[in-house]
Amino acid sequence: MISPEQIKKLREESGASVMDCKKALEQAAGDEAKAKEFLSKRGAEMAEKKAERKTNSGLIESYIHANGKIGVLLSLYCETDFVARNENFKALAHEICLQTAAVGAQTPEELLSQPYLKNPEKTIKDLIGDTVGKLGENIKIGQFIRFEI
């Protein structure tokens, strides 16, 4: 039996819906690590299904490194203004800026294939897929530029 506390904890850690957390825990027989893996796979599947949907909204995110010598400007797109204002979406944009500042990339495809610095087992594409799973909308990287002195 899955307890409400387990569901609440997984929801807080993953940002997934209550029903998705419950389903993941049930399929993983209460194992939180397996449930997180299930949610990650579900996010990737959801991202694949939504990949063709139009992204007409989004935001521009910037990051300037503490030394003032590296900066990134990024456009990140989603389907609605509602999601563009969501904290998870804003956090994703910031993480992609940090990644670009640290590692650099020339094209969105190159950026998507890079291992995520905070969790090398995932790529930036996986990170976006996780956010698509949480928010239920297609997300695409637009333009970005990395400045360095």
Q: How far apart are CA 24 and CA 128, in angstroms?
A: 19
| Numbered ranges of CATH 1.10.8.10 in the chain | 4-50
Which segments in the chain show pLDDT lower than 50?
A: none
pLDDT at 17: 75
Fold of 4-50: Helicase, Ruva Protein; domain 3 (1.10.8)
pLDDT in tens, 47-86: 676 767 788 899 999 999 999 999 999 999 999 999 999 9
Which residues, at least 6 apart from 38, have a Cβ–Cβ distance to it below 8 Å? 24, 27, 28
The pTM of this model reads 0.73
The two tokens of residue 43 are 């996010």
Half-sphere exposure of residue 80, counting CA atoms within 13 Å on the CB side?
7
pLDDT at 47: 67
CATH for 57-148, options being 3.30.2130.30, 1.10.760.10, 3.30.479.20, 3.40.50.1400 = 3.30.479.20
pLDDT at 117: 93
Largest CA distance in the chain: 57
